A and B are shown apart, each in its own frame.
Chain A
């Protein structure tokens, strides 16, 4: 869906934004109502679907892989997550063929940067390093099903949702011949006459309270906006992709500036920005991140478990 709007409509929209009234009644820092559901894909280890304002629709799925690597060549443990963003041609005709590839790669790269320090940010992620030479690799695949603005924001929420839904099997690592190790799934003994293979594997989950988010902050006229609709995206002067992560070491008493870390800043599209505006935009991003962390925390705690094997299409 490519949007054309006339100059007069743009003028009306820009004047409105400068008065802090957007065309759908929101203020500049407001998000459209969001929908988040987890466990939507039965074929994945963790999945999540996020809908923004009934239009932008994003689906994230995570697959685990037991990866062998050379411990001598890699001295520092590598970040185990990899991201891939795919734009469906159904989302918008501009993504047909190879149309969405470039934007998809750009976004995946941005997520890679935002999560580059994830071993420090997510407290129990280092548990994915099983033994010297073996680790869990976390493949995060995101599909954009419908496009109506602010896809990165929806993607980052979907990633957090999927990571919180992700179940990683517990394993027993035992030394084997020739300095190698053997890795066996851990099944807790529950007694009774149940065969070993029928006992469910013990699982553990990641702590996602501090996962980085990528937020888009756009400059329209003199105002800074979050969560732009397609019409608003036509009027954008310049846009920043800002990665924000909660700082775990900060105490609740410390001020906002220390509570959140900026993990990446990237400009999307054209336009020039003054240093001062960038400062304002990152401040807006941290404020928004605070609200988003609260909202997603509430939602993840209150969500009821979906029946296994049911897809979100039903």
Chain B
């Protein structure tokens, strides 16, 4: 039994970040708030997203960082809901079962759609398109279940159309879901990672990180039945999963971007500590500081 009551933290995570070098490469002039002029010479530029023209000046309508693309100026907010791009891997939760589609929560502004036709049935069965089939299909995914999918299309209003037409996508089984702000996810070629510690992690572009004993494709048998469904996860694997989950939370709390390298670095550096300690203020802030230093060093070496 461990019970600890302390005072309010003396150093907040964002204060710690200003102390580290991690944020020094952002030009302070490029950070704007609503109503602030974006550039000095408005005649030479065109206004892009997040800006408007007031008295001949290009002014920001958001708070964020100014980005320049040739002559186009736009403001990108730092913290916002997930916008979605075609090809993104997302981890979504089914919130509504409708006649011809599933509605999924992807922590975007609107719920995403997963049409009945866009799923791959276990074992590669073909569907006959009738009412009976629709009823059976709606039992395939139930309310509250987690799926892993790819964004197939972004509609005009920002609704995402998902598909799971690949063996690696589909229903997720046992594991831990951690929600992080979507901007912390670093886009990369691979979002499915089998870690060398005996478990796997899916880093969804929408900010949902899924920590699981094994990736979906490996749990589906040839005949499509989920044989591992009710198996108890062994204790050693469970401990590793929980440590990885704690690492993701630590990276989230200290606004460190989440990708394979940062996760494994955090995991390796967290080894001397108990999993419980990782959520404690003192340990986590020290660890976060060391991790950012290590990641920066690696980045500079690559350059």
Chain A residues packing against B (C-beta within 8 Å)? 4-9, 11-12, 15-16, 19, 21-27, 29-37, 51, 53-54, 157, 287-288, 291-292, 294-296, 298-299, 303-304, 312
**Which of B3, B229, B230 gathers the greatest number of chain A CB atoms within 10 Å?**
B3
With a CB–CB cut-off of 8 A, which chain A residues contact B238?
16, 19, 21
With a CB–CB cut-off of 8 A, which chain A residues contact B177?
5, 9
Contact present for B245 and A24 (CB under 8 Å): yes
Give B277's nearest chain A residue, CB to CB: A25
B43-51, B56-64, B278-286, B294-302 - the one binding chain A: B278-286
Contact present for A23 and B242 (CB under 8 Å): yes
- Knowing that A24-B279, A37-B7 touch, tell me 14 more A-B residue pairs with CB under 8 angstroms: A4-B143, A8-B172, A12-B174, A24-B245, A24-B275, A25-B274, A30-B1, A31-B2, A34-B5, A35-B7, A157-B5, A294-B3, A295-B4, A304-B7
A-facing mask of B136-152, CB < 8 A → 1, else 0? 00000011111000000
Give A312's nearest chain B residue, CB to CB: B8
Give CA–CA (A27, B3) in the complex, Å: 11
A231 to chain B, nearest CB (A): 9
**Chain A to chain B contacts (Cβ below 8 Å), 12 pairs:** A4-B93, A4-B143, A7-B145, A8-B172, A11-B174, A12-B176, A26-B276, A30-B2, A36-B6, A37-B7, A296-B5, A299-B7
- The 5 A-B residue pairs with the shortest CB-CB distance in the complex, in nearest-first order: A25-B275, A12-B174, A291-B3, A299-B5, A29-B1
| Any A CB within 8 A of the CB of B173 | yes
With a CB–CB cut-off of 8 A, which chain A residues contact B142?
6-7
| Any A CB within 8 A of the CB of B39 | no
Contact present for B145 and A292 (CB under 8 Å): no
| Any A CB within 8 A of the CB of B53 | no
Chain B residues packing against A (C-beta within 8 Å)? 1-9, 93, 95, 142-146, 172-177, 229-230, 232-233, 235, 238-239, 242-243, 245-246, 249, 253, 274-276, 278-281
Give CA–CA (A11, B172) in the complex, Å: 13
With a CB–CB cut-off of 8 A, which chain B residues contact A27?
1-2
Contact present for A34 and B6 (CB under 8 Å): yes
**Which of A21, A294, A312 gathers the greatest number of chain B CB atoms within 10 Å?**
A21
With a CB–CB cut-off of 8 A, which chain B residues contact A291?
1-3
Give B141's nearest chain A residue, CB to CB: A6
With a CB–CB cut-off of 8 A, which chain A residues contact B146?
6, 8-9
B268 to chain A, nearest CB (A): 17
Contact present for B232 and A15 (CB under 8 Å): yes
Given contacts A12-B174, A33-B280, A53-B279, contact A25 B246 (CB under 8 A): yes
Give CA–CA (A25, B176) in the complex, Å: 12
Contact present for B6 and A35 (CB under 8 Å): yes
Contact among B8, B143, B145, B242 with A35 in the assembled complex (CB-CB below 8 Å): B8
With a CB–CB cut-off of 8 A, which chain B residues contact A5?
144, 177
A7 to chain B, nearest CB (A): 8
Contact present for B4 and A34 (CB under 8 Å): yes
B139 to chain A, nearest CB (A): 13
Contact among A4, A24, A312 with B144 in the assembled complex (CB-CB below 8 Å): A4
Give CA–CA (A35, B9) in the complex, Å: 8
With a CB–CB cut-off of 8 A, which chain A residues contact B230?
11
Give CA–CA (A119, B245) in the complex, Å: 47
Give CA–CA (A31, B239) in the complex, Å: 18
With a CB–CB cut-off of 8 A, which chain B residues contact A294?
3
Contact present for A23 and B173 (CB under 8 Å): no
Given contacts A30-B1, A30-B2, A295-B4, contact A6 B280 (CB under 8 A): no
Contact among A6, A11, A15, A295 with B5 in the assembled complex (CB-CB below 8 Å): A295
With a CB–CB cut-off of 8 A, which chain B residues contact A23?
176, 242, 245
Contact present for A33 and B242 (CB under 8 Å): no
**Which of A24, A30, A37, A294 gathers the greatest number of chain B CB atoms within 10 Å?**
A24
Contact present for B8 and A21 (CB under 8 Å): no
With a CB–CB cut-off of 8 A, which chain B residues contact A34?
3-6
With a CB–CB cut-off of 8 A, which chain A residues contact B175?
8-9, 12
Given contacts A21-B235, A25-B243, A25-B275, contact A35 B5 (CB under 8 A): yes
Contact present for B239 and A295 (CB under 8 Å): no
With a CB–CB cut-off of 8 A, which chain A residues contact B235?
19, 21
Contact present for B7 and A292 (CB under 8 Å): no
Give B93's nearest chain A residue, CB to CB: A4
Give A289's nearest chain B residue, CB to CB: B3
Give CA–CA (A258, B232) in the complex, Å: 40
**Which of B4, B95, B233, B279 gathers the greatest number of chain A CB atoms within 10 Å?**
B4
Contact among B232, B245, B281 with A33 in the assembled complex (CB-CB below 8 Å): B281
With a CB–CB cut-off of 8 A, which chain A residues contact B279?
24-25, 32-33, 53-54
Contact present for A37 and B276 (CB under 8 Å): no
Give B232's nearest chain A residue, CB to CB: A15
With a CB–CB cut-off of 8 A, which chain A residues contact B143?
4
With a CB–CB cut-off of 8 A, which chain A residues contact B173?
8
**Which of B6, B239, B243 gathers the greatest number of chain A CB atoms within 10 Å?**
B6
Give CA–CA (A132, B243) in the complex, Å: 62
Give B275's nearest chain A residue, CB to CB: A25
Contact present for B2 and A21 (CB under 8 Å): no
Give CA–CA (A144, B138) in the complex, Å: 39
With a CB–CB cut-off of 8 A, which chain B residues contact A288?
1, 3
With a CB–CB cut-off of 8 A, which chain A residues contact B174?
8-9, 11-12
Give CA–CA (A295, B4) in the complex, Å: 6
B301 to chain A, nearest CB (A): 32
With a CB–CB cut-off of 8 A, which chain B residues contact A51?
8
